């Protein structure tokens, strides 16, 4: 999976900061559990990751540098959301197709 530069920065940050990673692991699992499927979970998680990126850009050097250089135009975090779901959750069992009625 290919991450954009902002997604990669955020992923690397989470990998290096255990407490932040643990917080996001719990959040990803909670959102995934409540969602109907992986796509719905990623759609909910992407904006959450973007808000976190914005918040970090005010206090953490690498995020600040990107914000100063490129501004804070909204960037999709969909690929990162999908990656975190794959890494940090167990796949939901697939629904079995309904069996045709016996004749």
- Convert the pLDDT of each residue in 60-103 to its tens digit: 999 999 999 988 888 999 999 999 999 999 876 777 777 777 76
Q: Classify 71 in phi/psi space as left (phi over 0), alpha (psi -120 to 50) or beta.
A: left
Are 89 and 28 spatial neighbours (Cβ–Cβ below 8 Å)?
yes
Both tokens of 2, joined, read 């290919």
Enumerate residues 6+ apart whose C-beta is below 8 A from 9. Answer: 62, 63, 66
pTM: 0.85
d(CA 71, CA 53): 12
d(CA 46, CA 25): 14
- Percent of the chain whose pLDDT exceeds 70: 96
Both tokens of 3, joined, read 């991450």
d(CA 11, CA 75): 14
Tens digit of each residue's pLDDT (9 = 90 or more) over 17-68: 999 999 999 999 999 999 989 999 999 999 999 999 999 999 999 999 999 9
Whole-angstrom Cα Rg for the chain: 17
């Amino acid at each position: 999976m290919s991450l954009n530069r902002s997604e990669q920065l955020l992923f690397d940050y989470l990998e290096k900061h255990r407490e932040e990673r643990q917080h996001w692991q719990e959040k990803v699992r909670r959102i995934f559990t409540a969602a109907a499927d992986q796509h719905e979970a990623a759609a909910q998680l992407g904006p959450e990751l973007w808000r976190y990126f914005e918040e970090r850009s005010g206090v953490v050097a690498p995020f600040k540098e990107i914000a100063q250089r490129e501004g804070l135009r909204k960037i999709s975090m969909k690929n990162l959301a999908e990656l975190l779901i794959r890494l940090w959750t167990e796949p939901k069992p697939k629904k079995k197709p309904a069996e045709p009625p016996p004749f």
